[in-house]
Amino acid sequence: MGSRVARLAKPRIAKMTTETGCTKQAKIQRVDSFLIRLHEKARCEIYPRTTDVKRVKVEDKYVKWAVDYPDYSPVVYTSEGVLKGPVWADPDLLTTEANLKWNALDGKVSRISHMGSYEIGKDKLPRNPIGRTGLKGRGCLGRWGPNHAADPIVTRWRRDEDDKKVKGEDGKNVLQFVAVQRRDNHQWAIPGGMVDPGEVITQTLKREFGEEAMNSLEKTEAEREDIEKAINELFDHGTNVYSGYVDDPRNTDNSWMETVALNFHDESGSGVSQIHLHAGDDAVGVKWMDLTSKLEIYASHKDFLQEVARKLQASW
C-alpha cells in the first residue's frame, strides 16, 4: 500500500443505518474498511471557483496534524457568498463568536463526522480529519467541520442487442451506472447532493436523483408522480458502499465534504434500466456509463464505483 495510504477504522455501519433512515428492506451490508489516501484534491493549488486563491503547498510528510509544522501558515479564505450568511451557512467564526456544538447534532444540523470524533484546534476551529490542506477558513463550503452529502449509485448490467450481458477484458460482466455531467465543472459524476438539515439520507438520494437524472423539476404534475413512483421502488433496496470523508477540492483545514454512498442495483434490467433519463437542475448531461478502471470522474467517486464493482464481482 505504500506510506501514503492510511487505513481507517471500520465505519460504524449499524449506527449509520438509523442515521441514514434506510427502509427496513434495505439490504445493509458490512462496508469493508476503506482506504483513504492522504488527500490530494484537497491540496489542489488554485481553490475551486476562484482564479487567484492559492493554497500554501503542503508536502505529503506534513499533511498529518500530528506532525509538527511550526512554519505552517495557510492562506485564509472564505468565499463572499458564504460570508453573506445564506441559510445553508454557519456564522463566520473568524470574525464573530458563536456557540456551535462540535461532534454533535446541533439543532437540525449534524456536525457529527462519519470518521469519528474530530479535533478542535487551538484556534477553536474544527480540524480536517485527514490533515492540512494549505487553506484556513471555509472556502466555498457553508459549514465548519463536516458538510454532508449523499450519492446514489444506480447500476445495471451492460447488455447487447440480444439482451446478453457484455463481458469486459478481464472476462467479467460489465456494469453501468447512471452518471451526470456537473454544471459547475462539466466533470462526470454520481448524481449526488447535499443533505439538508434534518433530512434523512434516503430523502436526499431520491431528490437529487429525481432532479439531476430525471429532470423532475421541469415535468408536469402527472409526469412527476410517475417519476416519484419509479424512484420510490428503486430506492427501496440499497446497499451501503461508503460513508466518510471525500477528497474534494473544496475542502479546507476546517471544513470538509463527507458522503454516504449507496448502491441501487437493477439485476434483471427490467426496473430502473427502463426509466427515461433526462438531465436537469445542477446537471447538464446524463447517461449510463460503463464501470472501468479507466474512468475519469469527480472527487472520490471512482473509489466508490470500484467498491461497487468489487461487491458485484463485475469487470473493472
Residues that bind ligand BGC in the complex, under the rule CB under 6 A: 149, 151, 189-190, 192-194, 246, 248, 257, 259, 299
Residues 292/170, Cβ–Cβ less than 8 Å? no
CB-nearest residue to ligand BGC:
192
- Shortest distance, position 248 Cβ to ligand BGC, whole Å: 4
Phi-psi region of 282 (alpha: psi -120 to 50; beta: other; left: phi over 0): alpha
**Least Cβ distance, residue 217 to ligand BGC (angstroms):** 16
- Residue 94 or 284 having the CB closest to ligand BGC: 284
CB 208: neighbour CB atoms within 10 A?
24
Query: Rounded to the nearest whole angstrom, what is the least distance from the CB of residue 200 to ligand BGC in the complex?
Result: 17
Residue 154 forms beta bridges with which residues? 264
Choice between 37 and 165, CB closer to ligand BGC: 37
Q: In sequence order, what are the beta bridge partners of 182?
A: 283
- What is the radius of gyration, based on Cα positions, of the chain? 20
Residues facing residue 136 across a β-bridge: 76
C-alpha cell at 127: 480540524
Tell me the β-bridge partners of 245: 258
Say if CB 230 and CB 275 are below 8 A apart.
yes
Nearer to ligand BGC, 143 or 168 (CB): 143
**175: its cell numbers:** 456494469
| CA-closest candidate to residue 307, choices 43, 35, 52 | 35
Whole-number Å distance between alpha carbons of 213 and 118: 34
Nearer to ligand BGC, 139 or 168 (CB): 139
Least CB distance to ligand BGC at residue 201 (A): 12
Residue 191 and residue 209: Cα distance in Å, rounded? 6
CB nearer ligand BGC, residue 251 or residue 315: 251
What is each CA distance from 238 to 17, 59, 188, 297, in whole angstroms? 11, 39, 22, 22
- Distance of closest approach, residue 188 Cβ to ligand BGC, in angstroms: 11
Instruction: Please identify, using beta-carbon distances, which residue of 137 and 191 lies nearer to ligand BGC.
Output: 191
**Least gap, CB of 68 to ligand BGC (angstroms):** 30
How many Cβ atoms are within 10 Å of 1's Cβ, its own excluded? 8
Residue closer to ligand BGC (CB basis): 114 or 168: 114
Backbone angles phi, psi at 110, to 5 degrees: -85, 115
CB of 222 to ligand BGC, least distance (A): 28
Nearer to ligand BGC, 125 or 189 (CB): 189
CB of 191 to ligand BGC, least distance (A): 7
Cell numbers that stand for 10 in this block = 471500520
